[in-house]
Structure 1
Amino acid sequence: MMTYCFESRHQSALCGQSPEEVVLTNQYIPLSIAENMEMEGDGTRSPNTLEDTLRTVLLRNRDQARVVMMLGPAGVGKTTTMQKMLLDWAGREELEEFDFIFPFAFRDLTLLEQEMSLEDFILVQHGHFTSESLAVILQSPQSLLFMFDGLEQYQYRLESTSHSALCTKPNQSAPVSVLITSLVQGELLKGASILITARSTASLSFLSDIECNHVQILGFSPPQRKAYFDQVFTDPKNAEQAFQYTEQKMGFYGLCGNPVFCWIMCFLLKETLETGDDLPETLTQVYVQTSASIFRAHNLEEGRARDLVLGLGKMATYSLGNSQLLSQKDLADSGLQQFLMSPLLSAFLFLYGDPASDNCMFSFISPIVQEFLIALLYYLDITWSGGESVEVLLGKLEGSVKFLDVFLSGLSDAAQRKPLEGIVGEFSKDRTEGLREWLKNTTVQSLQFLSYKRPLSYYRLLHQSQNPALVKEISDSQAAGLGRYYSELSAWDSAALNYVVMCCGGRDELHLHSSLNITGEMTLHLIPAFRLSRKLALLQCTLSTASYVHLASVIHKGRTVELDLSYNRAMGDSGAKALFEGLRDCSLQILRLPVCGLRAACCEDLASVLALPSTQLHVLDLRSNELQDEGLIQLCRGLRSPHCKLQELRMTSLARAFDCNLTDACCEGLAVALLSEGCSLTELDLSLNDLGDSGVLQLCEPLKFQGCSLEKLRLVNCQLSEATFRELGAVLRSGNSRLTALDVGLNKVGNTGAKYLWQALADNHCQLEHLDMEMINLTDGSLEDISAALKANTSLKTLVLKNNILTDASVPSLVQLINDSRTIQKINLQYNDFTEDVFEIFETCGRVKY
């Protein structure tokens, strides 16, 4: 015999459809769960749909107790899913391996205070069984499934108990909490399956000693949400509009996966689309407009509406610190007895039992409604809770609330609270002004700390308050702070940050740093702010391919002149290809892409971009991407174009683990590009590539011609020998070279190789202003050449000789040379073989770094 009374709830705008209606009218939409990455014994992955997961876990290893915890927030569909499972079982569509399923609601078990046996416990809840038939049923525990719904509503604590205190026989009497624990721990009806639903893991300490499977329900995925909206709206056009609007305006709150929230949005958008009223822009407006609609439907006069809200707010506060299940006494203590028989009460509370009975219990339909009512109470009753400030209130309730500060911020805005204020009366002016002052002061204080997260949490509240003047006031006092670095953004943070930046009219610089998993949705929220930023930096972020598409739209015909995507290793050629589309017509002048996982394949697209007349790119940083010779050869096609405006190209390696892997094979094509009439390159960095003498000698040829525009050349650690230094010296003496900066450190040529550059410095054709010869094995034997060079040279401003083998003996002469020089502004002699004995000599010259 298979019978079960499905749970029937009053349907309201704030609580959604009842599980009974959803299940029995075939409106149930399967829910998504957190992906289970554990491997099964046969090496396959566990299923990641709710129904498949529950079925697999419950039917696995049927000789042992199988305990499954189905977790998820209020309104996510736990009860409805459980009832759908029961319906499918009764129709032999699912779980047919179980002969009997026994469902229980924890709130009903709270009333069972006396000790009883498991047999009596089942008969109290399922009276259609006889004692005789039940005794036979319980003899086959492997065929039984016990379902317990709503653990958070059980007022008695379930604790891990010693085996001696547990029940082992169905006819043994014990407190109900012990019966449940005995079932779960497998001492009673060993082999039976147990399914428990709960909002969180906070009450699961009694499961610590047993093997338990956790299934986390996420709710509706985007396709499931779309199916839900299509189901609720009869007009497909309205369904699409409502779905897209909800995704765009409410998606970042993390609530759209919740079926009850989807129901609220459908209810509200149906109404506003029909009346032509303004659509809600914030979460506060959603709950204000929905509550106002409920009150209007019941035509309650202002005084009674205010009394109801005040009473609900007081009971909501009490419930946070005490119990989710509330009694008739709690109702009376909050001044709500007068509304006991009113259908309006069930718009905010679930009623369990006959309202006229002392055993009737109540609970708020969701924590978020509870917090909304507390926020209303704060503004409507200034005497409540001793008239404490918002800071004290939030501190007292910290850890118990999630959206209270959001609602407090939103309700401080007159436009947002207006629909409800006309029904329940005016809000306290002192408290709305106090909230704005608190929000201003706390935001300013947060911007003075180095923490990335603190300002973002207040930006959320600023976004909710919809007060551009307040944001501008904060911005004017903390101009530098708003241009700070932000990291670890959520979708909500993205929307809030965009709002703040837009209120300020944009920023010169906007930095995001180490934000993992920046989705296309998050980037979409930030597009307006990005478009108003002249410098945009997203360092060490993990951007999706869709994010690069959105970034391309940002820089296309936008005002951004610098884009820094350093260390986005997952970009790869696919992300780069999407990004480069935006470069074809834009104002971008500086593009930094070091360590972005780029390969040679992307260079063809980049070369074609460089050759376009519309491209304004002046600086291109491609350090530590494995572009290899093929990639640079492709780029040279762009460099040769008369339309190419590139002035700086960096293709060095930041570390050997991230090489560009360039060799001498690319140097011929680069030399040709440097000689081409259209090439405007003035700075080239090829450090830490194995170019060798054969490669760099090819590059020296164009440097001897006046047509070559190159002014700065870095060839650090390129495996160069004396032959190359000899040729570089000849270039500097040629009279045609424009080189003003040369870095050739970490090429171990010693005094003999360096001699060619010292000789060049002494030549009046040499225009070098900066020379770096770090770690090339210079000794005191080079002092005579250095002296001759510095005495004759009239252009050199900085000289780097650190990490060589110079000793104390050379110090007096070097210091004297610098003191006598009219041009040298700085010489770096760090990490040579100096002792402390010469530090006093160094101190006599402020231009020496030692």
Structure 2
Amino acid sequence: MHLKSNLKKKYQRVFEGIAKQGDATLLNNIYTDLYITQGGSEQVNTEHEVRQIEVTSRRHESQEIQVECTHLFKPGKDKKIKTVLTKGVAGIGKSVSVQKFVLDWAEGKENQDISFIFPLPFREMNLQDKEKQSLMDLITQFFPETKGLNLAKRNMYKVLFILDGLDEFRLPLNFKDNETLCDVLSPASLDVLLTNLIKGNLLPSALIWITTRPAAASKIPPYCIDQVTEIRGFNDTQKEEYFRKRFTDENQFKEIIDHIIKSKSLFIMCHIPVFCWISATVLQNILEMKTNNNLKNNQSNDASKTLQESNTEDTPKTLTQMYTHFLRFQIQQSRRKYDGEYTPDVSWDKDAILSLGKLAFQQLERNNVIFYESDLEACGIDVYKASVYSGMCTQIFKEETGIILGTMYCFVHLSIQEFIAALYAHLFLDIHKKSVFVHESTEQDSKKETLTDLLKTVVDKALESDNGHLDLFLRFLLGLSLQSNRLLLQGLLTQQDENDQSKKEIVQYIKQKFEANLSPERSINLFYCLNELNDQTLVKEIQTHLSKGSLSSAELSPAQWSAMAFVLLTSKEEQEEFELQKFKKSDECLIRLSAVIKNSKIALLNDCDLTDRSCSALATVLASDTSLKELNMNNNNLQDPGVKLLCTGLENLKCELEILRLSDCGITEEGYKALASALRSNPSHLIELDLTGNDPGQSGVKELSDLLQDPNCKLKTLRFLGTAADKACQDVNRVLGENLLLLRELNLSELGLSGLNKLAAVLQDKHCKLNKLILNNSDITEEDCCILTSALNSNPSNLTELNLSGTKLRNSGMKIFSTLFKNEKCSLQKLMFNCISITEEGCAALASAFNSNPSNLIELDLSENKLGNSGVTEISTLLANSQCTLQILRLSDCSITEEGYKALASALRSNPSHLIELDLKGNDPGQSGVKQITDLLQDPNCHLKTLRFLGPAADEACQYVIKVQGENPLLLKELNLSLHELGDTRVNQIAALLQDKHCKLNTLILCGCCITEKQCFILTSTLKSNPSHLRELDLSGNKIENKGVKHLCDLLIDFHCKMERLRLRGCDMTDEGCSALTSALKSNPSHLRELDLSENKLGDSGFENISNLLKNPECKLEILALCKCSIKEKQCVFLTSALKSNPSHLRELDLSGNVLKHTRVNKFYDILKESRFKLERLRLRYCAIKAEDCSALTSALKSKSSHLRELALSGNELGQLGATNLCDILMNPQCKLEKLELVTLYCTAVTV
């Protein structure tokens, strides 16, 4: 590919300092990586570019993200990178970076996915005419080998345009008003072409890389840029790398780099690659001169002397000296080139220097760095002679030929232009005795001006400048005022006598300026100015402050801070301990003094408001050959980004740090992982690590604790907790055999007070990540509550479940805990407060707290507390809160009645969408409570899935009844399970149901259910515990026998028993059981109204006991059934006698199925005639009554006193006569009989 081949030839060599003259060097041999960072301010930086470098030298290693030049277009997290803007001051290496990028592509090393790269330098695109051309024409003009290339086919080629040197472009780039252009073949002005290319209208898929000095960056609208990068030049390591590549001789390299490092102002300027080249050129020439002189004079003894030791007066230590030497050597080189000989004295062409100086000065005032023929002519420079200047001073002034515009001119670097301008100012003063700032038209032409006047004028002008564009000019101007520097320019500048007074005057004038409210930039520049004047008084003042211990941040100006850094860095005393608080608590101060930290053994940086900015500087320190063994960063908000930066130093094998303190630094899990990773990479030195007061997340503690198992790890002390918490942690470890900090659930039931105190110390530490804490049945007092809540309030974000069931929390404790529940950071989701002796008061405190912070709680257990209806009403206010997301609520055995149930139902109707489980076991819902709640299940908005009124056994019974009868027994008043064989399990379940207060059955019918004596005991025991509702019990047809009856009697004698109807037909009861039964009924006879003992063998004693019961005046029995009881005459006598003595209550008597002979029954008929006997229904079916017995019966029925309304005689042998007599009686007006049952025929009374 011809394009790659041609670009490789063009870019493989570099001409340091110039573009075309001088010795070329292979770029790959001399190239040193530059420090490039992602991001940067979109605002224009108004500082002098050298000042920007000085600031960068202190901060570029501690900020932002480093970007490799070859990866500029690597896609970001959120978007593709299409257009990149790279900023950098003059000489920082922008164009060399472009050259290296293109060369790597052309050589097939990098970015081979790019089809074509088109480097288009702005300076070569400056148009003289408003000539129109298409984008393809422009490309072909620069790269003829691409003729015929069709870029119009979208996405066929991946193309990169590199637009280098935006600051040198003189066209406006009118992004706002320029026409839109989309066709690469359509002609337009260069301004229109470039704005449409950058905006993406032309070749939308093309990549664009723009380089510029910072001041011109604002020419490109931010919306056109995907990524901004900044070239920060060389960092300290890269400076050394540059000089090492430049000087292959190791001794020569060491001598030069040592000199540069010791001269701090020079070392800072070496961030600029061009200045490295200048310094290398000057110092190499000095070394060569020294070597030549030594050989010539045979001074072998001096050959080993360093730059610092030999010819100290000639070795440059300041910027002025360096640039003066540079100028001298370039003039000497030109003389050697053109005259063929070398002389130590320089033959100056003063006129040429004056013309060149005038150009430099005037263009400096206008902030121009590129000049054209008109600019040269205005300064009296013949265009032809310009080429001579360029040839004579090949490394100072250069000419270039643009493809379109033609010839243009510039100084190799802005600093050289400023030096030549300062030299011109001195020359102008020497010749004209006036300042270059005094224009010819002014009246001051006749007034002679001194050098001091000029210097004061320039000091004032530099301080007035907003952008500091005269700062370096001033430093050069001051430096050239020293006689020692003027000697180097002998023959060019007038040599003056040493005038200490003049120097003192300008030094004092500068120091007075510090008293004004100067910006830090201006103040620091004045310090450098004093350095150029070799004045050390300010440094000595700082040293005095240090020696007296009177230093404070409020007393120091920015210039003094610069002096402070200089003093500490040049101090010959070894720094044992560095304490940042003695200076200034800030990132900036630490970064300025990081080199001092490097030379110290202990760095105390705690409580200094440091952030992650400081960490990168410290990482550099740790990764270097440093004396640092102990680093204290406690109580600084470093956070994870800061720790990660610090870890880049810790993981370096050069790092020999032994103690690192990072307590309360805002570090989380991510930071802990970074620390663990770093210490795995370099485990052999750190012996103590303090991380107390940080938040390690879910796995941070484990990440670091696992390191202790590494045999290579020398870590002996790993501190996460304070003293008290650490002791508690050890205690738990000893008891449970586990590290408390690694646990998520802790069960310390039965904990004592001392244990709680220790536990609280752990809980309040963020290293504790317990999710579940169980302290049930612990002896916790009110004081303990305060301790526990205080701890949890200080670290509330992890605990999600708290179990204090069975403790003596009480209302006072609940009020204390409510302060935790109100905490917005509280993450508690499950609270187990079962049986903690709280009442309505405690409930109100809890509800109020969660009403203010309801969003996390999903499960609440308040069972077995006497909340009552008032307490439940408080809870209901929480449930009704629309922000409440409670899913499970347990209120079993909380003394809730119907009123409380209604409150709950109302709350759930207003906020039905969250609660899925409600437990109300062991409460008394009254008549409608259950229905109030169960009706909610019909609401389509209600998500309630589990509504629990009953215990497991009772619930099983409930489900059984629903299955059998299709109805919920909790809503029934009568339950009939007759003829279902229940068995032990089912009887136990039904018993549990009957025992629950939610069960409101009045009638229980269990006929023919095969209930045994044992099961009867279970049922009656259950009914004893909840006897107040049952009014009717029917156990007929079950063989409970006497023992079963006796169990039943235990229920009947209960004072709370309100049984009204009891049916025990066919239960295999004998006189023994009957005796027990009647005895029980006599002790509590006032409620029973119906008793059915039919089909039992009661015997004489049984009937006698029944008779005694009936005789009891408190007996209110109204219905008595004794069918098929084998009643004998004696038994009938007992019964008749009893009814005579207490005849007023019985209303119905059923003696069916008993053989009642004539003699037995006639006496009974006589009772019917008594008005006191209120019997209304009499059943004598199948009693063997014959026709002859009817006369006594009809006589009784005719009696006015008889109350009988219904008579059943079916199944008897009455015959026709007996039946007729009985039917006739119905016609008797005295007879009150309304129904008469004879076989299947019912006779009704007829009103006559």
Relative to the length of structure 1, the TM-score reads 0.55
**Alignment-derived partner of residue 426 in structure 2:** 379
- 1:48 is matched with which residue? 67
State the shift of 1:186 in Å. 1.5
Where does residue 497 of structure 1 map in the other structure? 564
Aligned match of 1:648: none
Letter in 2 for 1:465: L
| AA partner of residue 90 (structure 1) | A
Alpha-carbon distance change, 465 to 8 in structure 1, aligned in 2, over 3 angstroms: farther
Q: How many Å separate the matches in 2 of 1:99 and 1:110? A: 27
Residues 276-320 of structure 1: CA distance to partner in whole angstroms, max 9, x if unpaired? Answer: 543433333322222232233335987844444443333223323
* Aligned position for 2:191: 177
CA contact (8 A) 1:406 1:464 kept: yes
**Quick one: distance in 2 between partners of 1:660 and 1:252?**
49
Structure 2 counterparts to residues 305-320 of structure 1, below 5 A: 305-320=349-364
Residue aligning to 1:126: 143
Structure 1 position 17, deviation (Å): 9.4
Residue aligned with 1:82, SS: helix
- 1:404 alignment partner, one of 467, 470, 473: 473
Give the superposition deviation at 1:183: 0.9
Contact 1:568 1:595 in 2 (8 A): yes
CA contact (8 A) 2:263 2:317 kept: yes
Q: % of aligned pairs identical?
A: 23
How far is 1:232 from its partner? 1.4
CA 1:99–1:471 in structure 2 vs 1: closer, same or farther (change >3 Å)? closer
Alpha-carbon distance, 1:364 to partner: 1.9
Secondary structure at the aligned position of 1:220 is classed as coil
| Structure 1 CA distance for aligned equivalents of residues 194 and 318 of structure 2 | 43
Which residue of structure 1 lines up, in the alignment, with residue 160 of structure 2?
Answer: 145
User: What is the one-letter code of the residue matched to 1:213?
Assistant: Q
Distance 1:398 1:317, change over 3 A: farther
Paired amino acid for 1:249: S
SS at match of 1:181: helix
8 A Cα contact 1:316 1:374, kept in partner? yes
Q: Is the 8 A contact 2:91 2:413 kept in 1?
A: yes
Larger radius of gyration: 2
Q: Which residue is equivalent to 1:347?
A: 395
Distance 2:625 2:111 in 1: 49
| Alignment match, 1:280 | 316
Aligned to 1:6: 10
Deviation at 1:476, TM superposition (A): 9.7
Partners of 1:489 and 1:248 lie apart in 2 by: 24
Partner deviation per Cα, 1:391-428 (whole Å, 9 max, x = no partner)? 34314644152533433444444435542456544479
The answer (yes or no) to whether the contact 1:15–1:366 under 8 Å persists in 2 is: no
Structure 1 counterpart of 2:413, one-letter code: S
Could you tell me which of 509, 515, 518 is aligned with 1:438? 509
Aligned to 1:218: 232
| Map of 1:32 onto structure 2 | 35
The question of whether the paired residues in 1 share the 8 Å contact of 2:181 and 2:202 is answered with: yes
C-alpha displacement of 1:363:
1.4
Which whole-Å deviations, capped at 9, do the CAs of 1:483-511 have from their partners, x for residues lacking one? 44279999x976632546899999xx994
Provide, for residues 8-37 of structure 1, a one-character-per-residue CA deviation record: whole Å limited to 9, x for no partner: 99957x659989945566433333311579
On the 8 A contact 2:114/2:160 being kept in 1, the answer is: yes
Distance in 1 between residues matched to 2:428 and 2:132, nearest whole Å: 47
Partners of 1:369 and 1:291 lie apart in 2 by 9
Contact kept, 8 Å, 1:66 with 1:212, in 2: the verdict is yes
Residue aligned with 1:189, SS: coil
Cα distance in 1 for partners of 2:664, 2:484 equals 48
Please say if residues 484 and 511 of structure 1, whose CA atoms lie closer than 8 Å, have aligned partners that are also in contact: yes
- Alignment size in residue pairs: 588
CA distance in 2, matches of 1:138, 1:23: 36
Alignment of structure 1 residues 370-519 onto 2, 5 Å: 370-382=417-429, 383-386=435-438, 389-395=457-463, 397-399=465-467, 401=469, 403-416=472-485, 418-420=487-489, 423-426=492-495, 435-445=506-516, 456-469=524-537, 483-485=551-553, 496-499=563-566, 511-516=582-587
Give the superposition deviation at 1:366: 1.5
Q: Deviations over 1:99-149 (max 9, x none)?
A: 33322221121135223222332333333444xx14x34434652222222
Cα distance in structure 1, aligned partners of 2:542 and 2:556: 23
Give per-residue Cα distances to partners, 1:778-810, cap 9 Å, x unaligned.
xxxxxxxxxxxxxxxxxxxxxxxxxxxxxxxxx
CA contact (8 A) 2:166 2:211 kept: yes
Q: Which amino acid aligns with 2:428?
A: D
Native 8 Å contact 2:565 2:592 kept in 1: no
CA distance in 2, matches of 1:555, 1:86: 45
Specify whether residues 499 and 137 from structure 1 end up closer, same or farther in structure 2 by C-alpha distance, changes over 3 A only.
closer
What does residue 414 of structure 2 align with?
367
Q: Which residue of 2 aligns with 1:333?
A: 378
Cα distance, 1:439 vs structure 2: 1.1
The amino acid across from 1:68 in the alignment is V
Structure-2 change in CA distance of 1:262 and 1:173 (3 Å): same
Structure 2: how far apart are the matches of 1:101 and 1:504? 51
Stretches of structure 2 lacking an aligned partner (at least 5 in a row): 41-63, 291-306, 336-342, 430-434, 439-453, 574-579, 651-655, 668-689, 695-719, 729-752, 759-782, 785-1248
Contact kept in structure 1, 2:622 and 2:657, CA below 8 Å: no
Q: What CA deviation, in whole Å up to 9, does each residue of 1:621-647 have, x standing for no partner? A: x9x989xxxxxxxxxxxxxxxxxxxxx
> In the aligned structure 2, how far is the partner of 1:495 from the partner of 1:189?
50
- In 2, Cα distance between equivalents of 1:493 and 1:547: 24
* TM-score normalized with structure 2 length: 0.39
Residues 233-258 of structure 1 deviation map (CA, whole Å, 9 limit, x = unaligned): 12123223433443453478643333
Q: Is the 8 A contact 2:361 2:424 kept in 1?
A: no
Contact 2:84 2:209 in 1 (8 A): yes
Q: 2:116 aligns with which of 100, 121, 130?
A: 100
- Paired with 1:194 and 1:545, the residues of 2 have a C-alpha distance of 35
- Tell me which amino acid in the other structure corresponds to 1:512: F
| Equivalent residue, structure 1, for 2:1140 | none
Deviation at 1:361, TM superposition (A): 1.0
Q: Which has the higher contact order (CA 8 A, sep 6+)?
A: 1
1:70 is matched with 86
- In structure 1, the partner of 2:919 is none
2: distance between equivalents of 1:261 and 1:154? Answer: 24
CA RMSD of aligned residues (A): 5.9
Instruction: Say if 1:432 and 1:377 are closer, same or farther in 2 by CA, change over 3 A.
Output: farther
Tell me the distance in 2 between the aligned counterparts of 1:482 and 1:111. Answer: 62
Against the structure 1 CA distance between its residues 550 and 345, is the aligned structure 2 distance closer, same or farther, given a 3 Å change threshold?
A: closer
**1:159 is aligned to 2:162:** no
- Cα contact 1:219–1:258 (8 A) shared by 2: yes
Change in CA separation of 1:308 and 1:405 when aligned onto 2, cut-off 3 Å:
same
Distance 1:548 1:93 in 2: 34
SS at match of 2:209: strand
Deviates more, 1:472-481 or 1:16-25: 472-481
Counterpart CA distance in 2 for 1:487 and 1:141 is 63
Contact 1:77 1:219 in 2 (8 A): yes
2: CA distance, partners of 1:177 / 1:124: 17
1:666-815 alignment runs, 5 A limit: none
One-letter amino acid of the counterpart of residue 113, structure 1: D
Match of 2:272 in 1: 258
Q: Deviations over 1:525-576 (max 9, x none)?
A: 5899x99xxx9999546573787999997999xxxxxx99996676999999
Q: How does 1:623-634 map to 2 (within 5 A)?
A: none
For residue 161 of structure 1, give the secondary structure of its aligned residue in structure 2. coil
